[in-house]
Amino acid sequence: MWLKNSAAALLLQALGASATWSAYQEYLSHLPAHTSKHQAAQPKISFSPNQPFEPLPKSTARGKNCYVQSHNDFKTDDSPYILDALHQCNNGGRAIFPQGTTYVIGTALDLTFLQHIDIQIQGYIQFTNDTDYWQKNAFYQTFQNATTFFQLGGEDVNVYGGGMLDGNGQVWYDLYAKNIYILRPILFGTIGLCSGAISDLNLRYSPQYYNFVANSTDVVFSNLTISGYSQSNNTAKNTDGWDTYRSSNVVIQNSVINNGDDCVSFKPNSTEILVQNLHCNGSHGISVGSLGQYVGQVDIVENVLVQNIQMSNATDGARIKVWPGSPSALSGDLQGGGGSGRVNNITYLDMSIANVDYAIEVTQCYGQKNLTLCNQFPSSLTINDVTMTNIHGTTSTKYQPISGYVVCSDPKVCSNITLNEIAVVSPNGVENEFTCGAVDQSLLHGINCTTINKGSN
């Protein structure tokens, strides 16, 4: 419920210990003692230890500044002000959300018209909790019924400034617990962007994924913080840090992610993706997939490099998940199997884990617990040329003494999976004990395999 008092201090006092209060207090704590209306310097983004797969285009010069107005009352929709500033400074300007200013977005914003513009978010932006409106009006993105509050696209667009976007997720976490078929919006939708950088931002309390990157090329995400857990008994589910989809030459780096699902997930037709220097906590790992979900669709994920990852309190470290050839149901709102395609040239380097259920997980039976049925209908999506090197640390008690899982549905569709310099220890002191099946174990260097026989459950 939106509060009616127009004084920001009284509004926040009334919010009490809510997620909104927590996010805004965090934002205020990072402000300088004396805020002022000023232009933020564009971050100089560098790449180390790896460069992008392809050189990134340079931005054109920016001239005009447009300051985004606000009602600054935590209740009135500021979307018209935002659109006005973006149109005014499109094609060579900067739209500035000043420090210490609060904005409310209650309208789905199509920002795919942007060209050669910087968006400096120094303020605090919150999306309304009008779940009925957003379920009807958020932008439908086709993949797994994903929707977004807004879609940012166009050409040569940079978003930065040190400010905060708050998805007001608590109402969604509670609603999803009652109805798994609701459409929960994604906080940041990068849709159809050709060259740009999203950096130096704080993303909080997304209803679902934090970032969805679709139909985009030459895009960098750098120096983001992501966080937002449920403050009720209802878990914040499907809160992936990033999902990439039908996109290429994307870099995700130098960020801290505290969430409850994949830290990064490479969805269908993600190619030339670089992920480096992330600290992931509470996640489901850095994941290829899930893939092969839809019959008649060809999913391709290839040329992916992941390096320098700290992974803690997670279900997985390095993960590849592919649906089997037969229909399967992971949950009531997530079903599939029978799609085709390939996973090719995937590299994980230098991952440190702590309290992670599986250090490494490779499966072609995603969503299918019956391995007999999975092996009878092997995946139509092939896995080939996967290398995982220097993954080390401790696993959780969940599967001990097992610390990894590499099981394919058939060697004909799953080959050249190589593990090197693996040193993962379960809490009882057993090192490198894996469950293995339908793979070339001679390539799993230093791994002690407990073999799953074909047809076992």
Q: Which residues are catalytic?
A: 284
Name beta bridge partners: 395.
356
Query: 223 with 251: CB under 8 angstroms?
Result: no
Nearest of 74, 121, 130, 77 to residue 102 by alpha carbon: 74
Rounded Cα distance between 394 and 355, Å, is 6
Nearest of 418, 412, 417, 329 to residue 365 by alpha carbon: 329
Specify the residue for token string 């950096």. 199
Rounded Cα distance between 427 and 389, Å, is 22
Whether omega before 401 lies within 30 degrees of 0, making that bond cis, reads yes
Query: 328 with 367: CB under 8 angstroms?
Result: yes
Nearest of 243, 210, 213 to residue 225 by alpha carbon: 210
Residue 363, C-beta contacts closer than 8 angstroms, at least 6 positions apart? 320, 321, 322, 405, 407
Residue-by-residue DSSP string for 435-456: EEESS-GGGBTT-EEEEPPTT-
Q: What share of the chain is helix, strand, coil (3-state, %, to 5)?
A: 15, 50, 40
Per this entry, what is the length of the chain? Answer: 457
Rounded Cα distance between 139 and 150, Å, is 7
Query: 301 with 271: CB under 8 angstroms?
Result: yes
Please tell me what DSSP assigns to residue 16. T
Rounded Cα distance between 191 and 52, Å, is 20
Rounded Cα distance between 7 and 128, Å, is 18
What phi and psi, each to the nearest 5 degrees, are found at residue 31?
A: -75, 150
Q: Are strands 328-331 and 334-336 parallel, antiparallel or unpaired?
A: antiparallel
Residue 173 corresponds to which tokens in the numbers above? 């976490």
For residue 173, give the 3-state DSSP assignment: helix
Rounded Cα distance between 98 and 80, Å, is 17
CA dihedral for 95, 98, 101, 102, sign (positive or negative) = positive
